[in-house]
Amino acid sequence: MIGLIGGSGLSQLDGLVLEEQMQRETPFGEPSAPLMIGKFAGKDVAFLPRHGEHHTIPPHLINYRANIWAMHQLGVDQILAVASVGGITEAYKPGTIALPDQLIDYSCGRESSFASEDFSADKHIDFTYPFDETLRQQIQLAANIEEMLVIDGGVYAVTQGPRLETAAEIRRLKTDGADMVGMTLMPEAVLARELNIAYASIAVVANQAAGISSHPLTIEVILETMDATMGQVHRLLKCVIPL
């Protein structure tokens, strides 16, 4: 089964033929919302909006462990994670879709391992390449089929949120090598890796990151851009899932 995790702007998956809605209790607590299980583009999928059904859970309070564990319990072995980001480097303009191939984690205080309670030396997993390259290439292929321009790669910086960044923080992230900034792919990506779930992200650039544009950042503009881009994200998901 394929897991789909929706972010800001994707709390509902249009086109999902719902078969079952499942509220799963996990050893780590409750997921952000009941998992929506059904057929999407002819395939079995489990959809979960990471901020909850009505976008009430901020990034630093998401129970990432419960979310990923619930998917694992269902037999999910691939996760496509949709996430909104702020664009930092030139090519990452609002409305652009990118498939990050690296990340830098600046978040703090989040439960970031399933092994916290029973650690042993073998739990230091390899995370050199945090995204599953095969899955990433499948998304790129789907974009080619759909004649959709997406940026193949990029470094995603994970900030703590829920506030947006300062201009100086964004300058620092740029110097560090980040192309885009968001608040949610960690610890999601590493938790998936711990359970051997192939994980890749479709990042939607909602705005230029703080201090890059002369326009003030407003949540209205961010949500407007997300709204305008979600049609493309749905098209991409519909094409990639049967691949």
Dist CA 44 CA 78 (whole Å): 11
> Does residue 86 bind ligand HPA (CB under 6 A)?
yes
- Residue (of 193, 69, 199) closest to 125 by Cα position: 193
Stretch binding ligand HPA (CB under 6 A), from 9-17, 20-28, 80-88, 228-236? 80-88
Q: Provide the token pair at 27.
A: 């050893």
The piece of 43-51, 60-68, 96-104, 205-213 that touches ligand HPA (CB under 6 A) is: 205-213
Among positions 142, 181, 190, 240, the unique one binding ligand HPA when judged by CB under 6 A: 181
CA angle 191, 3, 63 (to 5 degrees): 45
State how far the Cα of 50 lies from the Cα of 62, in Å rounded to an integer: 7
Segment 213 to 242, residues that bind ligand HPA, using CB under 6 A:
222
**Contact between 188 and ligand HPA (CB under 6 A)?**
no
Cβ proximity to ligand HPA: between 32 and 159 the closer is: 159
- Strand intervals (E) in the chain: 2-6, 17-22, 35-40, 43-49, 78-87, 97-99, 102-105, 150-152, 155-158, 180-182, 198-208
Q: Which is nearer to ligand HPA, 22 or 104 (CB)?
A: 104
**How many of the chain's residues bind ligand HPA (CB under 6 A)?**
13
* Shorter beta-carbon distance to ligand HPA: residue 204 or 239: 204
Residue 154 lies near ligand HPA (rule: CB under 6 A): no
**Does the protein bind ligand HPA through residue 158 (CB under 6 A)?**
no
